[in-house]
Amino acid sequence: MGMPKQTELRRVRKKLKKMEGTLALNPNATALERFRWNLHQKFVEYKLDKNMTQKEMAQKLKVDESHISKILNYRLDEFSTDRLILLYAKLNPKVKLEVGS
């Protein structure tokens, strides 16, 4: 397999310019930030375990697909912790969450 053509490289670069990556947890995160990160991880694990698409997850939770994308990419600024818990509880009603420092 050789190098991709310049047209293909331009197409991929253009697509990647519009994308946002997943944010990482700050090493100096507070207990609340770590809790929210762990909750975010539960959404990701659920999606992977159930082999679901973002669209399927959004339909199951009755939310817009863009909300699921934000949750899966740890872009949680517009979500309260309560809302995240309520959404995840719809996916896993038997969830047990722990808060620690």
The domain segmentation of the chain, as residue ranges, is: 29-91
DSSP annotation of 100: -
Does position 93 have pLDDT exceeding 80, yes or no? yes
* Per-residue pLDDT reduced to its tens digit, 36-85: 888 989 999 999 999 999 999 999 999 999 999 999 988 888 999 999 99
Structure tokens at 91: 């996916």
List b or e across 3-17, with b for residues whose CB sees 16 or more CB atoms inside 10 angstroms: eeeeeeeeeeeeeee
Report the CATH number of the 29-91 domain: 1.10.260
Tokens of 22: 């997943």
Instruction: Determine what percent of the chain is predicted with pLDDT higher than 70.
Output: 88
For residue 20, the model assigns a pLDDT of 64
Q: How far apart are the C-alpha atoms of 86 and 101, rounded to whole Å?
A: 22
